[in-house]
Each structure stands twice: as C-alpha cells, then as structure tokens.
Amino acid sequence: MTPTLVFDIETAPDVEGLRRLHDLDPTVSDHDVAEFALQRRRAATGGDFLPLHLQRVVAIACALREGDSFRVWSLGTPADSEPELIRRFYDGVEKYTPQLISWNGSGFDLPVLHYRGMRHGISAARYWEMGEDDRDFRYNNYINRYHTRHLDLMDLLALYQPRAYVALDELARLCGFPGKLGMDGSKVGEAFREGKIEEIRNYCETDVANTHLVYLRFQLLRGIYDAQSYQRECELVRDTLAKSREPHWRQFLGAWKTG
C-alpha cells in the first residue's frame, strides 16, 4: 500500500523579507513591519492576507499512514528555522514517495512551500520529478492538478469550481469530527509574534488529523473502503491519539462525535 501523507502548514508574515522588499529602517520593530504590510494589503485588497511569497512557514504537521501504523506529528522542533522545516517536508517526500493529501494544498500550502523553498535555496528533486528520470512520474506526479500523487480534497470535492469550495472546519464538524480547536489561521500571525509556537504546532496537528479523517470519509464515499474497513481506519486514529498525554489530543477526542 502506498503511504499517505496528510500535511498542513501554518504561516506568519515574512518580516525579514518585507524589510528587504521595502527597504525599511532596521530600527522599525518586527510588529510595526508586519502592521505596515498588513495595512498596505488592506488598502489594496480590502483584506489583510499577504501574498503567498511573503508567508513565512512557522509550522508543518503531517499524518502518515503506512503499513499497519498511523502517526501525527509536527516537523522539527519549535526552535527550528523555516528552511529546516521545509527541508524536512521534502525529505519525507524523498523517503516515502507518498500520496500527498491536503485541504487547499494546491491553492495555498504547496505554492507557499514552492516560493519559500526558492527563497532559501532548497532542493526537492523527488517532489519536482515529472518523468525526466522516473517514467512513472510522467503520467502521475505531484505537480499536475489532475494527478493523484497530490490529492487536494477541497479542490476535488468541489470539482475544481471555486464557488463550490467549503471550509474544512465546517465539513469536518458536519461529519462528526472535531473541526477547529482553539485557534484558526487568522490568529497564527499574532500567536507567532507572541512566541506561542507550541500552540501553533498543536493547532496545525489537529488540522491534519481532521483532514485525515475527512480523507477516510472520502475513501468510503468512493468505495475504496467498505463500512467495516472505514471503521477500522477510524479506530486506528482513535487508538493512536488516545496513547498521547497531550491536552490537545484529549480535547480532540472529546469533540469527536462519530466514527
């Protein structure tokens, strides 16, 4: 069975990059640099969501289903740099050649990783393979929207129609899964400035767990799992998370209403 790797990233404004692009005085605080960029964005677009190339990766969480095992974790440590987190993600692709699973990964997570990988001079040969060295990748690679090595659940379930997109939190909760717990993406930048890295990492992990559970439900929908195999997969997730003493997993299990 091909391993599946569900992934999610969390980002904050790239203060260093903003200083460089706008030639800002080094005496300006990081907070003021971020506010400067957000105000410019609000004036230009009406919102404060920065362009993807200016989103600094501060956490990457993964859920790996391989063989008889399942695990969820955050890459690296809270002290690791952005380049180290991105390298670890691409190293995982190199090691496992997994099927990547995401929610809006095509519209956000992967483009951010592309731009930030470029920024830091990171190499990711397996991820970018498109058939030059491995013929199997010519017709199924991570880059093409309609190939399955990367499955963006949000994009596919909407049949690639933006007007049909839904939020992961709402779909997860409709299915009886926990949904968002304690934070959402709009709060990550402020939490990062306040040094709440562990909280961000925990939030990212629960997002990945929700995405994995939605993926299991999708596999039931498309007939890959029958009712029994679907329940076994859900129980594997429950049993794995129940072994953790981390409060965010106790909260997650408490909010999980159905299999």
Angle at 169 between CA 163 and CA 173, to 5 degrees: 115
CATH superfamily, domain at 4-255: Ribonuclease H-like superfamily/Ribonuclease H (3.30.420.10)
Alpha-carbon distance of 130 to 133, in angstroms, equals 8
Angle at 228 between CA 239 and CA 209, to 5 degrees: 40
Crossing angle between the packed helical segments 247-255 and 197-221, to the nearest 10 degrees: 30
Alpha-carbon distance of 89 to 95, in angstroms, equals 10
- What's the pLDDT at 146? 86
- What's the pLDDT at 259? 55
User: How far does CA 131 lie from the centroid of its chain?
Assistant: 26
Contact by Cβ (8 Å): 253, 210: no
- What's the pLDDT at 182? 77
* Residue found by looking up tokens 């890295």 in the block: 197
* Average confidence (pLDDT) per 10 residues, the chain, 259 residues: 95 94 90 90 88 97 97 97 98 96 97 98 97 93 92 96 97 96 81 93 97 98 97 97 96 87
Residues 6+ apart with CB under 8 A from 222: none
In the chain, % helix, strand, coil (3-state, to 5) comes to: 55, 15, 35
pTM for the whole structure: 0.95
Give me 62's structure tokens.
């993964």
Strand order in the sheet with 69-74: 69-74, 55-66, 4-13, 99-102, 150-152
Question: Which residues sit opposite 99 in a β-bridge?
Answer: 4
